[in-house]
Amino acid sequence: MLTIAIIGKTNVGKTTLFNAATLLNAEISNYPFTTKQANEGIAYVCDVCVCKELGLEDNPLNSTCIDGWRYAPVRLLDVPGLVKDAWRGRGLGNRFLSVIGQADALIHVVDASGSIDAEGKIAKPGSGNPVQDIMDIEIEVERWVAQIIKNNRQLIIREEASTSLEEALTKALSGIKAGPHQVAQALRSTGLDEIDFQRWNARRTRKFAGELLPLIKPFLIIANKMDLPSAEENIEMLTDYYSQGLVATCSAEAELALRRAERSGLLSYIPGQEKFRIAEDAELSLAQRQALEYVEQRVMKKWMRTGIQQALNTLIFRLLKVNMAYPVANEAEFSDHHGNVLPDVHLMPDGSTPLDLARDVHTRLAENYILAIDARTGMRLPKDYSLRHRDIVKIMTQQRVKAR
Ligand SMILES: Nc1nc2c(ncn2[C@@H]2O[C@H](COP(=O)(O)OP(=O)(O)O)[C@@H](O)[C@H]2O)c(=O)[nH]1
Ligand SMILES: [Mg+2]
């Protein structure tokens, strides 16, 4: 399953966002370091389901379909404690940083309202500097990557002698999901492919880490707390500084309030949508009524939506360029062997083939793979076919290996 890690300074709203997206009850509070362990949960990314276009009633199993939108699961990690000098191990820094190693992509949450100081303590709204906050965290993560290279120096030198620098570095960095293409690209763009690893100093190592990081951990910045008035100016500054496509505006607290109220039956709300409707028989307390009024005025009216679902979708579909693929066992019925229509959706990285999809479904399906068929047209798909978004694929196997 794709893994997204939520990073950022203390008190920016990481845990609130994590709770909203997963609806788990991790501890939320104002104290720095309240979260001692990385929380793990399941969140969802969504896009229009193929059931609509096919005019079918589906029976999702590994995902859900709400109003014709398919929600596919991703693993979400809440990474606390990224304080200054975390890379040196300060405040359990290394343990938290190592969690990032597992991630396929990062959500970098920043307090857009400027309500925290440089150390992540709650401060007067507008007094903080969100652009600097982002850079501070980026530096920590970059230094941590550089440190891994430094710690593996002897190994890299040995490997380089018998293979190549690219292979040696890829091996040393495989634990943080660096692939040979990304290592090669970072070597080229820094010009370090021309320089013997023995001659890499601290500056060169950091330069390489800085180039490699966005390649192995694509990220989206979440400008959080946009419900606070002081966020507006800062959001402009953030989008000026980083490209527009990299900054998503959000209110994690508003999303959490809506999802909780929805769960207790007080209102109807589908994550990502622009409205919520209070249930007719809902008995709201004054505080609840005020909270919902605040969400309506400060978030929905102003920004259209809370932004959390869009941010997850943007990260997965636009930045990671992941495609949704629907494996089926019966291509005529678009179903599995039990008659479940469009049971599963798989999130496949850009460039994945039908064989990759088979592997993602089950190793046995990949081992017995013969060919794949486009269920919409009945045509055979070439072996090196790159899966496209919303493909429906039947995988033919040697024996009758069940797709599900
Ligand atoms: N106004 C506002 N406050 C928020 C929002 N998200 C989180 N907070 C508050 O910010 C504080 C820190 O949140 P928390 O999720 O614990 O931050 P973390 O340290 O990054 O995990 C808490 O008081 C939250 O209620 C938001 O969207 N708007
Ligand atoms: Mg937290």
User: What are the pLDDT digits (tens) for 61-73?
Assistant: 999 999 999 999 9
Above pLDDT 90, what percent of the chain? 81
The whole-number average pLDDT for the span 100-116 is: 96
Confidence of residue 219 (pLDDT cuts 50, 70, 90): very high
* Residue 381: CATH number of its domain: 3.10.20.30
Q: Can you give the pLDDT at residue 390? A: 97
CA atoms within 13 A on the CB side of 196: 5
Calpha distance 229→244 (Å, rounded) = 20
In three-state secondary structure terms, 323 is strand
Q: Whose CA is nearest to atom 1 of ligand 1?
A: 225
Confidence of residue 89 (pLDDT cuts 50, 70, 90): confident
Q: Can you give the pLDDT at residue 36? A: 57
What spacing in Å lies between the alpha carbon of 100 and ligand 1's midpoint? 21
- Let me know if residue 169 belongs to a domain: no
Work out which ligand 1 atom sits closest to the CA atom of 254.
27
Work out which ligand 1 atom sits closest to the CA atom of 10.
19
Choose the residue to mutate in 27, 28, 136 for probing ligand 1, maximizing ligand atoms within 8 Å of C-beta. 28
What letter would DSSP give residue 176? G
The whole-number average pLDDT for the span 275-292 is: 92
What spacing in Å lies between the alpha carbon of 11 and ligand 2's midpoint? 7
- Let me know if residue 356 belongs to a domain: yes
The whole-number average pLDDT for the span 156-173 is: 96
Q: Does residue 372 register a pLDDT over 80?
A: yes
> By mean pLDDT, which of 28-32, 115-119, 169-173 is the weakest?
28-32
Q: Can you give the pLDDT at residue 29? A: 47
What spacing in Å lies between the alpha carbon of 12 and ligand 1's midpoint? 6
Is there a contact between 23 and 263 (Cβ–Cβ < 8 Å)? yes
The whole-number average pLDDT for the span 131-140 is: 94
Work out which ligand 1 atom sits closest to the CA atom of 78.
21
Q: Across the chain, what does the average pLDDT equal?
A: 91
Return the ligand number nearest the Cα of 17. Answer: 1
Q: What is the 3-state secondary structure (H, E, C) of 348-388?
A: ECCCCCHHHHHHHHCHHHHHCEEEEEECCCCCEECCCCCCC
Confidence of residue 271 (pLDDT cuts 50, 70, 90): confident
* Range 12-43 burial, b when 16+ CB lie within 10 A, else e: bbbbbbbbbbbbbebebeeebeebeebbbbeb
Residues within a 6 A CB radius of ligand 1: 8, 10-16, 28-30, 35, 224-225, 227-228, 251-253
Residue identified by tokens 């002081």 is 230
What spacing in Å lies between the alpha carbon of 37 and ligand 2's midpoint? 9
Q: pLDDT of 2-54, one tens digit each?
A: 999 999 999 999 999 999 998 754 555 454 445 556 688 899 999 999 999 99
Q: Whose CA is nearest to atom 19 of ligand 1?
A: 11
Q: Can you give the pLDDT at residue 243? A: 80
Domain count along the chain: 1
Calpha distance 301→297 (Å, rounded) = 5
Angle in degrees, CA 384, 387, 388, rounded to 5: 140
Return the ligand number nearest the Cα of 14. Answer: 1
Q: Does residue 181 register a pLDDT over 50?
A: yes
- Let me know if residue 344 belongs to a domain: yes
- Let me know if residue 201 belongs to a domain: no
Choose the residue to mutate in 33, 35, 253, 260 for probing ligand 1, maximizing ligand atoms within 8 Å of C-beta. 253
Choose the residue to mutate in 6, 9, 10, 11 for probing ligand 1, maximizing ligand atoms within 8 Å of C-beta. 11
Q: Does residue 281 register a pLDDT over 80?
A: yes
Residue identified by tokens 């769960």 is 263
Calpha distance 384→33 (Å, rounded) = 48
Q: Whose CA is nearest to atom 12 of ligand 1?
A: 11
Q: Does residue 318 register a pLDDT over 70?
A: yes
Q: Can you give the pLDDT at residue 31? A: 47
CA atoms within 13 A on the CB side of 193: 16
Structure tokens at 76: 């979400």
Above pLDDT 70, what percent of the chain? 94
**Domain that residue 370 falls in:** 323-397
Work out which ligand 1 atom sits closest to the CA atom of 27.
16
Work out which ligand 1 atom sits closest to the CA atom of 17.
15
> By mean pLDDT, which of 23-37, 54-68, 118-132, 181-195 is the weakest?
23-37
- Let me know if residue 229 belongs to a domain: no
Q: For the chain, how big is the Rg over CA atoms in Å?
A: 23
Residues contacting residue 201 through CB under 8 Å, at least 6 positions apart: none
What kind and span of H or E run contains 7? strand 3-7
Calpha distance 85→83 (Å, rounded) = 6
Confidence of residue 244 (pLDDT cuts 50, 70, 90): confident
- Let me know if residue 93 belongs to a domain: no
Work out which ligand 1 atom sits closest to the CA atom of 18.
15
For ion ligand 2, residues whose CB falls within 5 Å: 14-15, 35, 80
Q: Does residue 196 register a pLDDT over 60?
A: yes
CA atoms within 13 A on the CB side of 312: 29
The whole-number average pLDDT for the span 115-125 is: 93
Work out which ligand 1 atom sits closest to the CA atom of 28.
16
Q: Does residue 308 register a pLDDT over 90?
A: yes
- Let me know if residue 81 belongs to a domain: no
Q: Does residue 225 register a pLDDT over 90?
A: yes
Q: Does residue 399 register a pLDDT over 80?
A: no
Is there a contact between 82 and 8 (Cβ–Cβ < 8 Å)? yes
What letter would DSSP give residue 281? T
What spacing in Å lies between the alpha carbon of 24 and ligand 2's midpoint? 13
Q: Can you give the pLDDT at residue 400? A: 57
Q: Does residue 209 register a pLDDT over 70?
A: yes
- Let me know if residue 104 belongs to a domain: no
